[in-house]
Structure 1
């Protein structure tokens, strides 16, 4: 039986960061789905996603709003916020997220956090086959 690779959705309006994160995640064994806006992710839906990584500062709907909407339908989906801002006045809006990374972030730390979140979500209720 072939094991399914975890699917990580990345939402960021910077195409260079999307490509860079895609390369990083795929080299670590993940399947990636990239979105240039929160709206494009919501249109596509969250079914089949194992992890969500979203930028905070995007035009239209920001990462906080996206996380809030996603948590309503997928409360156990591990979610990570990334930002280029050095001060975040709304850190209390980040309640319930799996992690917050400031750009430029350490790629290995992000991969370790994703791995931990996936292990915790599998141990937290889903049964492994």
Structure 2
């Protein structure tokens, strides 16, 4: 995937140099940042993917990710020496798409980068066509309709918007609060617990035709993500 731009964020110069050299040999354009503030500035260049260290002074990677998610939807891959499950959950809850532990295999990092960029390219192409396809499920963004195995699913407007939001950001975890704010707005008077009820209804409608594929996966303690597997 030559010519894609990757933003590499780490406060350790040796790691930046090591990864940058490897990625540039693969044909990627690499932007670098040694701090969270610098990362926010560099992100304005709209990178295709961001590699983000967790343990940084002043502003750690979790906080950087939260702020990045206000302006960018590209994949974010965390690099971290923190091996606990709680740390990985925090990373996903902040809006990260992947979490790779230090020390890491360079070959694995490159493979994950390629996989994320390939997925983004596929989704971008589908968005331009107005259709998102996942096995037997088709989401018609322009027609505001969802069908599965030839059957149209009777989704309400909000149910469709939830499906569309999750499907367009496959693999990214959204909390109930994030989904509610994106669909109802920050000033809406209501309770984000309504998201749970909407998800239940969507799953019930999918179950009738999706042959045991739920598509919407619960990430315990965080929220929901789209997982067609």
* Category of TM-score, reference length = shorter chain: 0.7 to 0.9
TM-score (norm 1): 0.87
The aligned counterpart of 1:118 is 117
Cα distance 1:93–1:30, how it changes in 2: closer, same or farther (>3 A)? same
Could you tell me how far apart the structure 2 residues matched to 1:125 and 1:47 are? Answer: 18
- 1:38 maps onto 2:30 in alignment: no
Secondary structure in 1 aligned to 2:70?
Answer: helix
Query: Based on CA coordinates, which of the two structures has the bigger radius of gyration?
Result: 2
TM-score (norm 2): 0.51
The aligned counterpart of 1:65 is 63
Any stretches of 5+ residues in structure 2 without a counterpart? 129-229
Cα distance 1:59–1:88, how it changes in 2: closer, same or farther (>3 A)? farther
For residues 46-125 of structure 1, the aligned pairs below 5 Å read: 46-75=44-73, 77-87=74-84, 89-95=86-92, 96-125=95-124
Any stretches of 5+ residues in structure 1 without a counterpart? none
Point out the more displaced range, 12-21 or 40-49. Answer: 40-49
Higher relative contact order (CA 8 A, sep 6+): 1
TM superposition shift of 1:88:
5.4
Cα distance 1:91–1:78, how it changes in 2: closer, same or farther (>3 A)? same
Could you tell me how far apart the structure 2 residues matched to 1:81 and 1:46 are? Answer: 19
How many residues are paired up?
124
- Output the aligned Cα RMSD: 1.8
The aligned counterpart of 1:6 is 4
Q: Could you list the runs of 4 or more consecutive aligned residues of structure 1 that deviate by over 6 angstroms after TM superposition?
A: none
